[in-house]
Amino acid sequence: MTPPRGERDGSAPRVVPDADPVSYYGRPILKGPVWHADIAWYLFVGGVTGASCPLALGAELVGNEALAKRVWPTALLGITISPILLIKDLGRPQRFLNMLRVFKVTSPMSVGSWIATGTGATVGLAAVRSQLGWFPRAGRVAGLAAGLGFGPGLATYTAVLLADTTVPVWHGARRELPFVFAGSAMASAGGAATALTPASIAGPARRLTALGAVLELAAAHRMESRLGELGEPLREGRPGTYAKAAKALTGIGTLAVAAGGSRRAVAVAGGAAVMAGSAFERFAVFRAGFASAADPKYTVGPQRRLVEAGASVGT
Amino acid sequence: VGGTGAFFLLLDDPEVYGLPPAPKVTTRDLGEMWRSAGAAALAMGVGVAAAFAGGRR
ipTM: 0.85
The count of C-alpha atoms lying within 13 angstroms of the C-alpha of A76, restricted to the half-sphere facing its C-beta, is 19
Chain A residues with CB-CB distance to B40 below 8 A: 156, 159, 178-179, 181-182
Per-residue pLDDT at A185: 95
B31 at the A interface (CB within 8 A)?
no
Q: Cα separation of A164 and A306, whole Å?
A: 20
Chain A interface, mutation test: which of B33, B44, B46, B52, most A Cβ atoms within 10 Å? B44
Q: Pick the residue with more confidence: A28 or A282? A: A282
| C-alpha to C-alpha distance for A114 and A121, rounded to whole angstroms | 11
Among A180, A186, A161, smallest CA distance to A223 is for: A180
pLDDT band at B25; cut points 50, 70, 90? confident
B11 reaches A (C-beta below 8 A): no
Q: Per residue in A251-262, pLDDT tens? A: 999 999 999 878
Asked if the C-beta of A169 comes within 8 angstroms of chain B's C-beta atoms, the answer is no
User: Residue A301 pLDDT more than 90?
Assistant: no
Check whether A3 has a pLDDT greater than 70.
no
pLDDT per residue as tens digits for the range A74-111 = 999 999 999 999 999 888 888 888 888 888 888 999 99
Q: How far is CA B33 from the centre of its chain?
A: 5
pLDDT in tens, A31-70: 888 888 999 999 999 999 999 999 999 999 998 889 999 9
- Answer yes or no: do A186 and B48 touch at CB < 8 A: yes
How far apart CA A185 and CA A196 sit, in angstroms, is: 16
- CA-wise closest residue to A273 among A251, A243, A240: A251
Query: What distance in Å separates the CA atoms of residue A250 and residue A270, rounded to the nearest whole number?
Result: 9
Residues of A in contact with B11 (CB under 8 A): none
**In the prediction, which pLDDT does A211 show?**
94
Q: Which residue of B has its CA nearest to A194?
A: B57
Q: Do B21 and A313 touch (CB under 8 A)?
A: yes
Spell out which residues of chain A touch residue B23, defining contact as CB-CB under 8 Å: 166, 303, 313-314
For chain A, give the mean pLDDT.
87
Lowest-pLDDT range of A81-90, A195-204, A241-250, B14-23: B14-23
Q: Which of A38, A280, A45, A50 is closest to A155 using CA atoms?
A: A50
Q: Is B34 on the interface with A (CB under 8 A)?
A: yes
Q: What is the pLDDT of residues A139-153, one digit of tens each?
A: 889 989 998 999 999
Of B12, B41, B55, which is closest to A182 when you measure between CB atoms?
A: B41
Mutate to test the interface with B, among A119, A207, A312 (most CBs of B within 10 A): A207
CA distance B55 to chain A (A): 7
The CA-atom distances, in angstroms, between A241 and each of A235, A236, A237, A252 are 7, 7, 6, 16
Nearest to B44 among A186, A201, A300 (CB): A186
How much of chain A exceeds pLDDT 70, in percent?
91
Cβ distance of B26 and A207 shorter than 8 Å: no
Query: Strand, helix or coil at A261?
Result: coil
Q: Which residues contact A278 (CB under 8 A, 6 or more apart)?
A: A44, A47, A48, A184, A185, A187, A188, A191, A216, A246, A250
pLDDT value for A257? 92
Residue B46 in contact with partner chain A when CB distance is under 8 A: no
Q: Categorize the per-residue pLDDT at B48 as very low, low, confident or very high, splitting at 50, 70 and 90.
A: very high
SS3 of residue A49 by DSSP: helix
Asked if residues A202 and A258 have their Cβ atoms less than 8 Å apart, the reply is no
Q: Quote the minimal CA–CA distance from B12 to chain A in Å.
A: 10
| Residue contact A315–B28, C-beta within 8 A | yes
Per-residue H/E/C for chain B:
CCCCCCCCCCCCCHHHHCCCCCCCCHHHHHHHHHHHHHHHHHHHHHHHHHHHHCCCC
pTM of the predicted model over 0.90: no
The answer to whether B37 contacts A307, with C-beta atoms less than 8 Å apart, is: no
